[in-house]
Amino acid sequence: MTVPLSVLDLSPISTGSDARQAIRNTIDLARHAEAWGYRRFWVAEHHFVAVASSAPTELIALIAAATETIRVGSAAVQAGYRTSASVVESFGTIDALYPGRLDLGLGRSAHLISQLRSPGASPPAAPERPTLVRDGVVVPPPFSPAQIRDTTRLAASLEALRLPGAEPLDYTQQVEEIRALLAGTYTSADGIGLHAVPGEGARIELWLFGSSGGESAQLAGRLGLPFVANYHVSPGTVLETVEAYRKAFRPSAHHPEPYLVVSADVVVAPDDSTARHLASTYGHWVSSIRSGAGAAEYLDPDIAPPLTDYQRRLVDDRVNTQFVGTPAAVAARLTALRDLTGADELVVTSVTHRHADRLTSHRLLAQEWGLRGARAA
């Protein structure tokens, strides 16, 4: 059985380019993704780094205006940086003009990063285990955040995104507030009913995203919400993440059964050697993220230096789980990922230095997967 494919885009900035062009590239990719038959087009949220998706709500509005039918959403809004009301009102404003097309994805990263401010705080070590290969899918040992040597930039970014003295709500509480505001059942701590205008009654689908079997996966299950397991970010924890979501799932009005999406990072080209060359600077990019410096400009594979031994160790799990190759080879690995996780849908992200290569990657995959509209492209 072939499941739907969707696109996750980060608006990456390549060396020699800028944020303006990255946003234009994202809009262009969204138009093509719609024509090729992808189900959704999601954008991420990152700040103070070389990606242009720092304002996902505004970017979603631009994409919705530039397309007609494809669902558009966030993957994911970092709820800890803003109030529940501001999230609902912003998405409600877009839904007023493009009703029934929005996916409001919520992530927990902002809450996790806030722990960096605690004196003497250190990230937990990941459990040690060997690399697993199941049904052709590589599941490496979980990445340990303790490998990030310098978290000062992350902490500084957090401070810049919050008002002085502000603290994020408990994640579960904030998700419940957002649900109540959408449903029109919100009451303040003093018992006063408040109504989000626009936002209340908006035809917005709420999603949770997670990279472990912790709070996000379990909460999505308990609330009967659709859930995204981030294999492309944390491949070593995908199995426990999926298991936690399914184990916790309780039927809801909109989802009587679990609905699971699994993400994967792909680079597709007409031949293996071209695909490997285009993907050869992916490790440099992940290394810049995991070093604590944040996502750097995406390097040109024609001139980039090789990875150092330290960089390679830091990114080995991500490089080994990127799906790189011909359309048939990548589609086969995605099928294996679907079979292993039982995913109802897959979402793919593809980062290359040249925008034209990114378009080609998504087009070739859409054609191989048999998406409507792709065969005529």
pLDDT tens profile 55-95:
999 999 999 999 999 999 999 999 888 999 999 999 999 99
Helices (H), 170-214: 171-183
Q: What is the pLDDT of residue 375?
A: 66
* Confidence tier at 119 by pLDDT (50, 70, 90): very low
| Beta carbons of 42 and 369 less than 8 angstroms apart | no
Tell me the average pLDDT across 146-167: 82
Bigger pLDDT: 119 vs 172: 172
Q: Answer whether residue 214 shows pLDDT above 50.
A: yes
The reported pTM is 0.94
pLDDT tens-place string over residues 245-256: 999 999 999 999
* Confidence tier at 117 by pLDDT (50, 70, 90): very low
Residues 6+ apart with CB under 8 A from 358: 25, 29, 350, 351, 352
Per mean pLDDT, which range of 89-103, 154-168, 283-297, 319-333 is the poorest? 154-168
The Cα 362–Cα 377 span in angstroms is 11
Percent of the chain with pLDDT over 90: 81
| CATH 3.40.50.150 at 5-369, yes or no | no
Residue 35 phi, psi dihedral angles, 5° rounding:
-65, -35
The Cα 356–Cα 376 span in angstroms is 18
Strands 137-139 and 132-134: antiparallel
Q: What is the pLDDT of residue 267?
A: 98
Instruction: Tell me the pLDDT of the chain averaged across its residues.
Output: 92
Tell me the average pLDDT across 103-132: 66
Bigger pLDDT: 48 vs 147: 48
Residue 102 phi, psi dihedral angles, 5° rounding:
-105, 135
pLDDT tens-place string over residues 328-345: 999 999 999 999 999 999
Residues 6+ apart with CB under 8 A from 279: 267, 301, 322, 324, 352
Residue 15's identity, in one-letter code, is T
User: Would you give the DSSP letter of residue 12?
Assistant: B
Bigger pLDDT: 134 vs 259: 259
Return the C-alpha torsion angle 370, 371, 376, 377, nearest 10: -110
